[in-house]
Amino acid sequence: MHRSAPQPLKADGVPPTPQIAGGGRVSQLWYAVVFPELIDAAYSAAVLQRLCLHAQTFTSFVSIEPPNALLLEIKGSLKLFGSLERLHADIDACWRRLALQAYSAAAPSTLAALWLARSAAHTGNPADRPPVIDDLGALPGHLAEMPIACTAWDIARLETLRAMGVTRIGELLRLPRAGLARRLGSDTVQDLDMALARQFAPRRAFVPRERFRARCDFETEIENAAYLEKALEPLIGRCAQFLRERQAGIQALRLKLRHRAEPASCVHVGLASITSERRRLTDVLTEKLTQLELAAPVRGMELISGSLRPLSAGSLDVFAGLAGSRAGAGDRYDSLPQLVERLRARLGEDAVYGVASIPEHRPEAAWRRVHELPLPSASRADGKMIERGAGEGMPRPVWLLDAPQPLASVPLILEQGPERIESGWWDGKGVARDYYVARRTPDAHRSHGAKLWVFQERQSKRWYLHGMFA
């Protein structure tokens, strides 16, 4: 259907008439929609970007046609949606739901669809059935009746054409190409070729931005943080949809609150794992808001997401929410990341952590805190990961003191030991200790019966308490 190599221009600068191969088989199908209400250029640019996101639920290729139109390539979506009529009706319903006046058309070429939509907009009756052409052979016939104004060419060109007595595209098509190119420029001829699907020009697809950003302003200033939650709901909904369309998740959020006189205050929220779920975002933001003390009344809010990360199967909380039947349990099944986020939002980021052991002889160095919590999909039943009864000689105490405490006297009964630990001479924190499991003797004033982990330094012979067996 398309030319495989660019044809050389003839001597007078007119591209030669391309030949249609395949006898009129359509290989592309374009849907164009014109929104006559979008007049202001800056405003309509932002709105068109938002509408692109809606359109992306139907197809992956959406192109913005300024000032007020969108082009969707729908050939690939036909199978999913069933038929062309059905898909067309679905997309039209989308605009109706948004309460936007829209005129649409579908045709095998981009420009034809655009021109058809525009002429429908000019005649101005949205109740008419939108023109849908899927047969290439019928295309010239449909185009012939369109007024030339629907091409949206510049005024000078249109005036020239009107002076020539050309009012419909059909008449334009009957004019000789060479003369047309000479009088109105070769791009006129190219446009006509594109409209008739004889030539294709690639269109730039709409590429969504990397971060979600949405803002809303309030008519009256809000002084109570509780009311902010209500206003947040639509923003979070948009954020969740934004992420869903991109199959991406976020791990951080920022909420900017604007005040009248003071500089904007920021609320930072971190999430325990990459997520795109609306419920989790709402949970963690409301938790933060309940603790927030507003320095000044809030006039507007802006929700900015962190950078988008791809969603992996491990970060999908969908299945965690369907936790198996537990007799008598409530129907509130959180996933762990949700619980951790909620706790961290109220208690602080560092207040919730896990622990892990490190293979290390020195006891105080044999463990560490873990901030990043493993996802539920991490190897769970793998016996190797879990050291069950590592059998490292003597038992270890459940509580370890931050630093060994010197013991004044030795009112102890040594029950087990000694376990000699000598290590760490290479980094200067060497230890040479004999560890014992001990119990305080009955004639001490306190703590009979408490089992302690003590050691004696080999060099200084001093006794220290290092842990307790709780």
Partner 1 sequence: MDARESSSLADVLADARVWKLKDASAAPARPVWSTGKSALDARLPGGGWPTASLIEVLLDDTGLGEVQLFLPALVECQRRMGQDGSAGDVSWLVWIAPPHEPYAPALAQQGIDLTRLLVVRPTSATEALWAAEQALSSGICAAVLLWLKGTDDRWLRRLKLAAEAGGALGVLFRPERHRFESSPASLRVLMTQGEHEVRLDLLKVQGGRPGPVDLGGS
According to CB under 8 A, which residues from 339 to 378 bind partner 1? 339-340, 342-343, 346-348, 350-357, 363, 366-369, 373-374, 376, 378
Q: Which is nearer to partner 1, 194 or 412 (CB)?
A: 412
Find the binder of partner 1 among 332, 384, 445, 461 (CB under 8 A): 332
Q: Which of 396, 414, 419, 458 binds partner 1 (CB under 8 A)?
A: 396
Report the residue from 42, 127, 403, 470 that binds partner 1 according to the rule CB under 8 A: 470
Under rule CB under 8 A, residue 313 binds partner 1: no
Exposed, middle or buried: residue 402 (CB in 10 Å: 0-12, 13-18, 19+)? exposed
Residue number, 288 or 451, with CB nearest to partner 1: 451
User: Is 158 near partner 1 (CB under 8 A)?
Assistant: no
Please report whether residue 399 would count as binding partner 1 according to CB under 8 A: yes
Residue from the set 128, 187, 392, 415 that interacts with partner 1 by CB under 8 A:
392
248 contacts partner 1 (rule: CB under 8 A): no
- Report the residue from 395, 405, 410, 420 that binds partner 1 according to the rule CB under 8 A: 395
Backbone angles phi, psi at 86, to 5 degrees: -65, -45
SS3 89: helix
Out of 175, 292, 336, 432, the residue judged to bind partner 1 by CB under 8 A: 336
Q: How far is the CB of 357 from partner 1 (least distance, A)?
A: 4
For CA atoms 303, 306, 308, 312, the dihedral sign is negative
38/316 Cα distance (integer angstroms):
39
DSSP-derived pairing of the beta strands 265-275 and 213-222: unpaired
- In the region spanning residues 439 to 458, those forming contacts with partner 1, defined by CB under 8 A, are 442, 446-452
- Which phi and psi angles does 18 have, rounded to 5°? -75, 155
* Cα distance between residue 466 and residue 44, in whole Å: 70
459: left (phi over 0), alpha (psi -120 to 50) or beta: alpha
Q: How many CB atoms lie within 10 A of CB 172?
A: 22
Alpha carbons 165 and 172: distance in angstroms, whole number:
10
CA distance 59 to 52: 10
Query: Taking contact as CB under 8 A, which single stretch among the options 27-35, 126-134, 245-253, 320-328 is the one that binds partner 1?
Result: 320-328
| From candidates 216, 295, 398, 410, binder to partner 1 by CB under 8 A | 398
State the binding string over 75-114 for partner 1 (x if CB under 8 A, else -): ----------------------------------------
